[in-house]
A and B are shown apart, each in its own frame.
Chain A
């Protein structure tokens, strides 16, 4: 079975631009979460979506937004990019209830570089 997939794998943008990252969860999973991982640090929670509704939001500015589609795939959008947005963006999916006791399965991430 395919795991969590993310696209693109790498991306280079300049300051002020906008970027959209995509995630496809494991088949049957209804919850998708997004994390930002800056080099040398642990992942930081950005959003969780379950059944197309936002379940949680981390401490990130409004420049960050996300949505989940009827097929449970998800997009993370970042506007007005800053140099500090350079990071590995990780998507994780979990099973039917989206609750914390469920294992989250992470994708390989999208490496974003902002110049």
Chain B
């Protein structure tokens, strides 16, 4: 299973765009990249998932370069409520088995 590396913590201010980069040098051909958000004492919440190029939904964008050895989660115009831990996961695409490998995550603090 591919190991991921992401910054331990980041700081930002309300209204700014935040980009969190995750390295996954050993990503396999059939791996997807998934990001989760977790608030204190709550379960992780799915944000976005992608395989290559760019994926966008109502809350975030995910940029994946051609070599797929890294990915960047982009949060547009963050607010105080975006303060959370963000996890980058790279998981096998094998059918019937959905074990998620979480790293330590990136603690994002959004300031007024």
Contacts and interface: CB of A to CB of B under 8 A. Distances in A.
Interface stretch (A14-22, A62-70, A79-87, A99-107): A99-107
A55 B96 contact: yes
A108 B40 CA distance: 10
A103 B94 CA distance: 14
Bin the interface of chain B by size. Answer: 20 to 34
A42 B96 contact: no
B45 A106 contact: yes
B43 A48 contact: no
Interface string B90-106: 01111111111111110
A90 B102 CA distance: 13
A97 B44 CA distance: 21
Contact of A99 (B98, B102, B104): B98
Nearest to B107: A40
A98 B95 CA distance: 8
Contact of A50 (B49, B96, B102): B96
Given A100-B32, A104-B46, A105-B46, A94 B41 contact: no
Interface of A: 4, 31, 33, 35, 41-45, 48, 50, 55-56, 58, 88, 90-92, 94, 97-109, 111
Given A42-B87, A58-B99, 18 more contacts: A33-B100, A35-B102, A45-B101, A48-B98, A48-B99, A56-B98, A91-B43, A94-B98, A97-B95, A98-B96, A99-B95, A99-B98, A100-B98, A101-B93, A104-B100, A108-B43, A109-B42, A111-B41
23 contacts: A4-B43, A41-B104, A42-B87, A44-B102, A45-B100, A45-B101, A48-B97, A48-B99, A55-B97, A55-B98, A56-B99, A90-B43, A90-B44, A92-B43, A94-B98, A98-B98, A99-B93, A99-B95, A99-B97, A103-B49, A105-B46, A106-B43, A108-B41
